[in-house]
């Protein structure tokens, strides 16, 4: 089906666009009362994510309500370790929790990397519904967590400010770490292949915990696996978003990805110099959306001017915060469109 609005894909490929495309990380979420209503109906976050009809409904809401230039399938990065054999729980006000973690080589041997389409059928079913309901209005983004970020959760068992347990393994048993990272990468590529098959027009890889690593560790334990993922998808654009890894921008730009996402701490002009031949995405501080409307508009215009209108996708520097006023979000989106 031909897309009516392919701005995102053209920008990702470095082609000229009539205007800058815009979408937001976590755009399908608690900022919308419509999302909260569906979430209440589902009963829990995991029930919402694993019920195709409901996941599809909240995926479509930002397109219909906010006017973004792309839908991103509603899911969670932790469905991959769950499909590999490591189920998780979502603890209210605390976040994800893994009752069982990876501790030994035997634990790694038990992990599964194949049959992702069967194990995660609910994700693909929701994608099929979304593609049908979108009717070609905007592209659909598929996503996954980067191998290192998934590794953090599989070792640590929950969120952490330091991920010291996970980092300890990198120092104490690097061979073990690489064995697990390799398995995660295989499972992730299999999962994303399914997403492309079911209609993902662009893929984004979230390395949410990249910033806990030193430059040397990031080069050793993340970049090679991001390269494998990028190289596996010549058929669709790939975006790499490594939050906090300001030191890795040049290395990321040398991979075969099409887009490099920036967080709000990454200087725009410097990033253009380090990554001259890629599309950049980002990078408004989500807290700007707490400002008065005039300031949201001013900051958004300043950002777009700094990036320039070519090889650029407007976004926040991380996910939109759940207590953000949806009208401020609309102001951000409409300002980008008017630039």
d(CA 170, CA 173): 6
Check the annotation: does 118 bind a ligand.
no
Task: Write out the catalytic residue numbers.
Answer: 26, 30, 39, 76, 153
Q: How far is CA 210 from each of CA 80, 110, 205, 207, rounded to the nearest angstrom? A: 18, 26, 12, 5
Check the annotation: does 208 bind a ligand.
yes
Sign of CA dihedral 54, 119, 139, 313: positive
Check the annotation: does 27 bind a ligand.
yes
> CA 191 from chain center: how many Å?
14
Check the annotation: does 178 bind a ligand.
no
Cβ–Cβ < 8 Å for 219, 165: no
Check the annotation: does 76 bind a ligand.
yes
Check the annotation: does 282 bind a ligand.
no
d(CA 171, CA 89): 28
Check the annotation: does 28 bind a ligand.
yes
Instruction: Determine whether 203 is exposed, middle or buried from the number of CB atoms within 10 Å of its CB (0-12, 13-18, 19+).
Output: buried
Check the annotation: does 12 bind a ligand.
no
d(CA 108, CA 181): 10
Helix ranges, 135-281 (H): 147-156, 164-172, 174-197, 215-221, 223-231, 249-253, 268-274
Check the annotation: does 318 bind a ligand.
yes
Q: List the structure tokens of 168.
A: 């300890």
Overall size of the chain counted in residues? 339
Pairing of strands 95-97, 89-91: antiparallel
Annotated binding site for substrate: 26-30, 76, 153, 208, 318
Annotated binding site: 26-30, 76, 153, 208, 318
């Amino acid at each position: 089906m031909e897309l009516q609005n392919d701005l995102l894909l053209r920008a990702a490929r470095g082609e000229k666009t009539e205007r800058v495309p815009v979408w937001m990380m976590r755009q399908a979420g608690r900022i919308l009362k419509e999302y909260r209503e569906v979430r209440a109906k589902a009963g829990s976050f995991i029930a919402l994510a694993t019920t195709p009809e409901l996941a599809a409904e909240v995926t479509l809401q930002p397109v219909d309500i906010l006017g973004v230039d792309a839908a991103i399938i509603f899911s969670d990065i932790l469905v991959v370790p769950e499909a590999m054999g490591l189920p998780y729980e979502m603890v209210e006000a605390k976040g994800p929790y893994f009752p069982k973690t990876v501790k030994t080589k035997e634990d790694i041997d038990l992990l599964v990397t194949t049959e992702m389409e069967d194990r995660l059928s609910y994700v693909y079913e929701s994608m099929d519904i979304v593609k049908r309901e979108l009717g070609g209005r905007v592209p659909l983004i598929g996503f996954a967590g980067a191998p290192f970020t998934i590794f953090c959760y599989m070792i640590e068992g929950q969120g952490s400010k330091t991920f010291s347990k996970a980092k300890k393994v990198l120092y104490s048993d690097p061979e073990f770490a690489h064995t697990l990272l390799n398995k995660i990468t295989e499972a992730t590529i299999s999962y994303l292949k399914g997403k492309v098959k079911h209609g993902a027009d662009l893929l984004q890889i979230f390395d949410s915990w990249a910033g806990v690593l030193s430059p040397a560790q990031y080069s050793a334990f993340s970049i090679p696996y991001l390269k494998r993922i990028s190289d596996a998808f010549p058929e669709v654009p790939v975006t790499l978003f490594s939050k906090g890894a300001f030191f890795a921008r040049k290395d990321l730009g040398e991979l075969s990805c099409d887009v490099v996402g920036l967080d709000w701490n990454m200087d725009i002009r410097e990033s253009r110099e380090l990554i001259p031949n890629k599309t950049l995405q980002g990078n408004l501080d989500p807290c700007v959306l707490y400002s008065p409307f005039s300031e949201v508009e001013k900051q958004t215009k300043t950002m777009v001017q700094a990036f320039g209108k070519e090889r650029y996708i407007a976004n926040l520097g991380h996910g939109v915060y759940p207590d953000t006023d949806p009208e401020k979000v609309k102001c951000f989106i409409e300002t980008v469109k008017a630039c």
